[in-house]
Amino acid sequence: MTTYENKAKDQAIKANNKPMLNDSPTREFFDKTQQQKWPSADEVVSGADEAVSGALLQCHSLYPEMMEEYLAIEYEQRELFCKKMLDYGTGNISLGTNLESEEDKKVSLTGLWYRINDKISRLKNLVVLGKSPNVKGETIKDTYQDLSIYGVIAQLVIRNKWGK
């Protein structure tokens, strides 16, 4: 058991909760099927300041199954992002620029806003209004995945890391 897992287990026991699951089906699946090593709990916490690390430790100890699944979703999102990047490249977001000026970034973020708005409108129709989807094979989950990825892309643009 890692140092992190020992801390989380101790905190969970003190909080009268179940200790972290060491052999969850999700983690086992990723350990066996993915080329990239599943991040250890210590790796998730490393590099964070003390307040953030404390929050991570608390969440992992209070909600072990949810946090394991969160990490699995995070990995799936990163994999989908990479596949789409290989299909689209970076020009669809940077619009042929290097995003060096504030105006270029504003145009890029505006384009992302339109994409996000399209996804929100789709969710409104499917979830809130209960309409049946017309696009076969594109689930509500897919729409939430797209929203999540667009949010990360927007942060990459803001941090001047898109395409670098």
pLDDT in tens, 80-95: 999 999 999 999 999 9
Residue 62 has pLDDT above 80, yes or no: yes
CA-to-CA dists, residue 18 to 25, 69, 76, 156, angstroms? 17, 16, 26, 37
Exposure string for 76-103, b = 16+ CB within 10 A, e = fewer: eeeeebeeeeeeeebeebbeeeebeeee
With beta carbons less than 8 A apart as the criterion, state whether 105 and 99 touch.
yes
Q: What is the pLDDT of residue 104?
A: 96
The pLDDT > 70 percentage for the chain reads 68
**Whole-model pTM over 0.85:** no
Q: What is the pLDDT of residues 104-155, one digit of tens each?
A: 999 999 999 999 999 999 999 999 999 998 888 889 999 999 999 999 999 9
